Structures are given as structure tokens and as C-alpha cells.
Amino acid sequence: MPQLASFMEVGVTSIYWYFKSKDELLEAMSRAAFIRFAELTEVDLSGRWDEILRRYFRVFRDVLEADPVLCDFIVVRVELARSTDHIEPTLRHLDEIAGVLVGAGFTHEQALLGYNSLSLYTRRAIHADRLREASVHERGFIGGLRGQLTRSVADEPPNLARGLDESTLDDNDEFEFGMNLIISGLHALLAESGTANKA
């Protein structure tokens, strides 16, 4: 409870005074988490749209990996919440980045879907890393797979074994690989539409 009070920036006894139920407490904590997350993910929005996306989602990932409690609220509990009021603090970031993409030539719909694809990818990558660390004490897809196969008594599947032998990626490289695939897809979409801003 003291750790919770510290996170909420209130006294321990205040928790019992202000919140009538567990749901009320979780909603308040979720809002506090999103306010903090929004503050910690402020990034420079100058430069090319693709570099802005990389900059933002690298910070997004770094912030959540550095704070397990914050990560629980942003990555896990957000999908269990009964309302979406607590996400309001982060909507400004979404709007600003959508504006960057619209300025580059994307439609408003494409901008929102592009942001959502990267956000979903980043959150799932973080969540998957946490699960792998808990089960096989390895980070990243390659590391986790290597750990699983090492513990297996069966013969290694040949294609997986070859891929593991060839791979030199760590979990950061893996994250960058996936992020760049999504951004490459956005580049292709922009080229197909012929609306890219040349400025």
C-alpha cells in the first residue's frame, strides 16, 4: 500500500478516504499513469515524418520498459478498463503525430491507422518480452525461441535452428526491425497515393 500511495502521490490513509471501491481506485490510478506517460513521452516533432515516428515509439518503449508499474497500466490494464476517460492525457500526442502524418500527405484516416499500427506493435512487443522474461528469462523473440529450443528434448526444427544460427539480433534490433517494416509500409502507401509532401 505505501508503494501505491507513492505512485498516486497521496498519503496511505487517503487512499481509503477517497476511493469507495477497487474499481474507483483502479480508474484513478489509470488516469495518473496516463498523465505520467504523456509527460514522459514528449518528443521533438521536427524533421521527417518517419524519423518522428521512430523517435516517438522508441521513447514510448523505453519509458514502459523502465517502469513495470506504469507498463501494467498502459499495456495491460488499459484493455480491461471499463471506460476510456483515463486515456485523455495521451490524446494530444496522438493528435500531434496524426498532424505530422497528414502534413506529409497521408489522409486523416491513414494517419490514425498508421499510429495505431505502431502503438499496437510497440505495446505487444513490450508485453511479449515481459512474458518471455518470466518464462524463459530471455528477452526478444529470437532469445526466447533460442531458450525454448535449448530446453527442448526434441530435435531442433531445421528452419528454426538455421534462423537462430544466422541471427545476431538482440531485442532492440528486433523491435527496430518490426517498426521499420510498418514504416516501410506507410512509405509505400504514401507513394501509391501520390500525395507525398515533397517539402
More confident residue, 134 or 41: 41
Determine contact, residues 139/128, Cβ cutoff 8 Å: no
Half-sphere exposure for 132 (CA within 13 Å, toward CB):
18
Q: What is the pLDDT of residue 28?
A: 77
Determine contact, residues 21/75, Cβ cutoff 8 Å: no
% the chain with pLDDT above 70: 64
Query: Is residue 173 within a helix (H) or strand (E), and if so which, with residue range?
Result: helix 171-193
Q: How many residues does this entry show for the chain?
A: 199
Q: What is the pLDDT of residue 61?
A: 95
Q: What is the pLDDT of residue 186?
A: 97
Measured distance CA(195)–CA(61) in Å, rounded: 30
Largest CA distance in the chain: 61
Measured distance CA(107)–CA(195) in Å, rounded: 9
- Domain layout of the chain by residue ranges: 2-193
What are 159's three cell numbers?
A: 528452419
Q: Is 2-193 CATH 1.10.357.10?
A: yes
Answer whether residue 152 shows pLDDT above 90.
no
Half-sphere exposure for 178 (CA within 13 Å, toward CB):
21
pLDDT tier for residue 199 given thresholds of 50, 70 and 90: very low
Q: What is the mean pLDDT of the chain?
A: 79
Measured distance CA(50)–CA(153) in Å, rounded: 44
Half-sphere exposure for 91 (CA within 13 Å, toward CB):
7
SS3 category, 198: coil
Mean pLDDT within 110-125: 95
Q: What is the pLDDT of residue 88?
A: 80
pLDDT by residue (tens digit) across 63-90?
999 998 899 888 877 665 555 666 787 8
Answer whether residue 169 shows pLDDT above 60.
no
Measured distance CA(154)–CA(173) in Å, rounded: 29
Write the CB contacts of 49 (distance below 8 Å, at least 6 apart in sequence). 100, 101, 103, 104
Q: What is the pLDDT of residue 153?
A: 47
